Structure 1
Amino acid sequence: MGIIFSEGSGVNDSIFGKCQTPIKIFMEKRTEAFENDSVIEKLFSMQKSKNFAEKATGMTSMHGFSPVGEGGAYPKDEMQEGYSQTFEHETWKDSFSITSEMAEDSVLLNLKKRPAAFLNGYHRTRELFGAALFGAALSGSNAATMRGKKFKTTANDGLTLFNTAHTSITGECDDQSNKFTNAFSADVLGKIECEMQNLKDDNGNILAVTPDTIIIPNLASLKKSVFEAIGADKDPATANNGFNYTFGRWKVVVWAYLNQYIASGTAPFILMSSQYNEDYGGALWFDRRELTMKSIIDENTDDNVWKGNARWCAGFNDWRAFAVGGASAGTTLT
């Protein structure tokens, strides 16, 4: 995602004219570097939007073919709209200024410091927003608070993303859980993986979800446990050279921004199916307007003011893309 630039009248003819292009190039390159390291790009299905709000919905599956015997009539199959979720865009703004003295002295390092801090703040805000959504979901809250405003963190069934009793809109499937209390271990990883693989759609059909990503806060003990469990081709729990079937099958995302949302003494971990997340919209992020910059001269201070704004929204839709382990409350696997 790039940056859209515009300039107010008189900027190019002012003492700030020569610094406009270097600042633009610097900001564009800085944005590319941030996007390469972005965690939200890995955890959310990133979408473009042209609407005031976006509605995510789908249809339930059909029951499939039935044996009818010789000359039998065609059964009439049915499907209906599934749960839906609406995402409404929010406008985000910030600004910075470059003094006329800085421009006159033409100190390139100083000219870059403020754009760098500005872009750091923009991309950090996006990462923090994504972390706030997942953090609130980990705590069992139905809303995240970001800069004084609340954003919902419920899935499309109206329940918290991680829940022990996710419902079916058709009533043809028993309640399902994606919230487990078991602490991380190689065995627990395999058990929660199986739970996700056995998840069913609203009609009770197994979906064969394939989790492939482990998301953890930046906790040394948890990182050690995770990489010990998946990092060797032999059984990590014994010395008998038994085969470790988890080896080479997992991607790990360590997200330091999650740390502030977890309770002391807890070590939650999230499993995600990146394919299911992309195909069915587990976590969705909609960019309505990419970062748009405008450079103007403040007539009161003679400073060069850079204003930036963007519109986006994000949240959760289909909970089946995720499961959490190490939760303080939930289903305990045996």
Structure 2
Amino acid sequence: MTKLKIGVIGCGSIAKFRHLREYANNGQVEIIAVCDIVEDRVNEFAKEYEATAYTSYEELLTNQDIDAVSVCTPNYLHAPVSIAALKAGKHVLCEKPMATSRADGEAMIAAAKEANKKLMIAHNQRFVPSHQKARQLIENGEVGKIYSFRTAFGHGGPEGWSVDGADSWFFRKEEAFIGAMGDLGVHKTDLLRYILGEDFVEVGAFVETSAKAKTDVDDTAVCILKSESGIIGTLAASWSYVAKEDNSTIIYGEKAILRLEDDPTASLIIQYKTGEVVKYELGGIQSNEIGGQTSSKVIDHFVSCILEDTEPAISGEEGLKSLQVVLSALESSETKKITSL
């Protein structure tokens, strides 16, 4: 069998703990190229994965053998690198948030169409078993009409996870563009759109920098979201949860309450109106705690979409809709008004 030949652009923590590791565990691919502007870092990964090291992504993209790339760079480079890769005839898996503006996101989608290549955004929350089960329960009417939700994604901040610690690009606005809302909040806007099966039409938000002294990006945000059918709820994204990561979502419905990733052992708890409680142990959510890594299933899905020529679950269009909620939240925070999407 001919293996899919992969290049990874950007060798920070997300590449180290997710992309490279998961490609290496997939028998249908071969990592043949890695790229990072830090020479020692890229040489280390090149040696580990028996790949060619590049310090220029433009040079990597001239390698005709590469079928697909992962874009694991700082946020401001997501769009330019992805577009260059698509124009070079490579399929692209891009980290979230897909871009730093709507225009850049649209340009990525257009480049993928023009090149007839796959563009997938690495939102892993759709692949979490409890989230998939919740969507199924809502779809088949078991929860009844959905009234409300609350979701949170918070931890102590990128310094505990990023390869550069407190000096990480995550804290620099010119490279990150957006802080906790781009790092964590966009995961939840994508998750909610997936679970509820609806888009959001209005957003109000408070976006602050309160926990991190040396940064000009947000570290704590709380949003109020309203969906097409009138479901309202809150989303919190924060780098100020100092003790334990929170990645929980609660859905309030007519017949039941769904508690997702809210309990240490039961990843989904259904509390029915009748008083009955059902607990599911479906396996844990991927954690940012190093050593607590499980497969995100993102890589395997991307690879199968290329090999089977199917549309990725999180296409560029889906990624852009989830990004747009975040961009609207920023606008709401700046204007002190509810923003319509």
Structure with the higher helix share, 1 or 2: 2
Larger RCO of the pair (alpha carbons < 8 Å, separation 6+): 1
TM bucket normalised to smaller:
under 0.3
TM-score using structure 1 length: 0.27
Bigger Cα Rg: 1
